[in-house]
Amino acid sequence: MKNFVSIFLLSLLCVACTKNETKCTTEPKSQWKDQAEFKQNLKDQGYKINEFKVTSGNCYEIYGWDKDKNKVEIYFNPVSGDVVKSEKH
């Protein structure tokens, strides 16, 4: 019984935790950079973009390759254009 209760409480705790999601800005979308210009700017810097998306954490996110041919997933602040999180794959 003790086992069961502790496992149940543990799973409740897991569900209660908020998802660890990268958040980039709280600014309204009107302040965000134009998507086409943003992508073009990255291409000019040598990035190859396989996929571009706007995340639920208010980021511009790309899947692709950087100028050194590293396979990367990068989260950008859509207002400033700064890299918030970069992950190599």
Determine phi and psi for 24, rounding to 5 degrees.
-115, -35
Nearest approach, Cβ of residue 44 and another protein (Å): 20
Q: Is 63 in the site for another protein (CB under 8 A)?
A: yes
Give the tokens for residue 45.
């810097």
Residue placing its CB nearer to another protein in the complex, 11 or 40: 11
Count of residues that bind another protein according to CB under 8 A: 21
CA–CA separation, 54 vs 78, rounded Å? 9
Nearest approach, Cβ of residue 77 and another protein (Å): 17
Q: Residue 42 corresponds to which amino acid? A: L
Q: Residue 54 corresponds to which amino acid? A: V
Q: Is 82 in the site for another protein (CB under 8 A)?
A: no
Q: Is 71 in the site for another protein (CB under 8 A)?
A: yes
Give the tokens for residue 85.
């999180």
Q: How many CB atoms within 10 Å of residue 15?
A: 6
List residues near another protein by CB under 8 A.
Answer: 3-4, 7, 11, 14-15, 17, 19-22, 50-51, 53, 62-64, 71, 73, 87, 89
